[in-house]
Structure 1
Amino acid sequence: MSERLQPGDTAPAFTLPDADGKDVSLADHKGRKVIVYFYPAALTPGCTKQACDFTDNLDVLAAAGYDVIGVSPDKPEKLAKFREQENLKVTLVGDPSKETLAAYGAFGEKKLYGKTVTGVIRSTVVVDEEGKVEHAFYNVKATGHVAKIIKDLGV
């Protein structure tokens, strides 16, 4: 099981392909705050709700200085379909190797319908302008999570 990040930790660096196959790196966002959220799979009901919530609040978050990156184990082609189908504006990147998911503590054992399974743990990590973890939320709910983050961040 991967370690969960704590406020003050250095956020693990990553470079992952986006929905268009272009590399997106955490380093590209230095000087801006970044909300990195981890979700199990594109084109599933909960993940769609969460991605739409982030898209609906993107202007508010951007005005407060936050960029948003969604990370899942999906390949770029599936992310592109997800973006098109749901009119998503958030940056979606794929981590099929699950190395970044594990580095952020967002992959491991979790409870699913009462059973213990290994998979993506729905999580959100807020990274500050210097690349340090400001907040780390684990086992979050897909619905209502974005509103809670906005409230917690005082946006």
Structure 2
Amino acid sequence: MTEQPQPGTTAAPETLTQLEEAAEEADAPRVGIIMASQSDMDTMAAAEKVLTAAGVRSETRVLSAHREPDQVADYCRNARMRGLKVIIAGSGLNAALPGLAATHTDLPVIGVPLSSPFSAAGGLDAILSIVQMPPGFAVAAVGLDNAKNAGDLALRILNA
């Protein structure tokens, strides 16, 4: 026999499906935007701008794959439960963040390679790090510093 909630309360969700439905009802963000450094915020804001213009809620976090790998893993493992449908991950240099995100979620991950003064060959290092993922860890990729296209691709995925 299932215990009924008291009047004025709601039952605690028991399955992942129920958690996802509760997140949708609560108008939770649908897209997570993560980046490796606070200095990437201006570039990655283009993705949020596209999503906001389309009426899609997003959340933005700075999470370093190198300094905070456990926090990245927790964020990605719990993303679906919180209502996210897509993760956009921006990272430069060896661009580990998109790949690390993809290892900890079954949601689509869109990688945004970011340039920096320390980039090799104008950002080629970041591009190759994102597009050359091992089998089983697919990451979609957009052009260098092109967070706007990541926002556009996230919209297409949400509308598929």
* Fold match (TM-score > 0.5): no
Larger radius of gyration: 2
- Of the two structures, which has the highest relative contact order with CA contacts closer than 8 Å and spacing of 6 or more? 1
Q: By percentage of residues, which structure has more strand?
A: 1
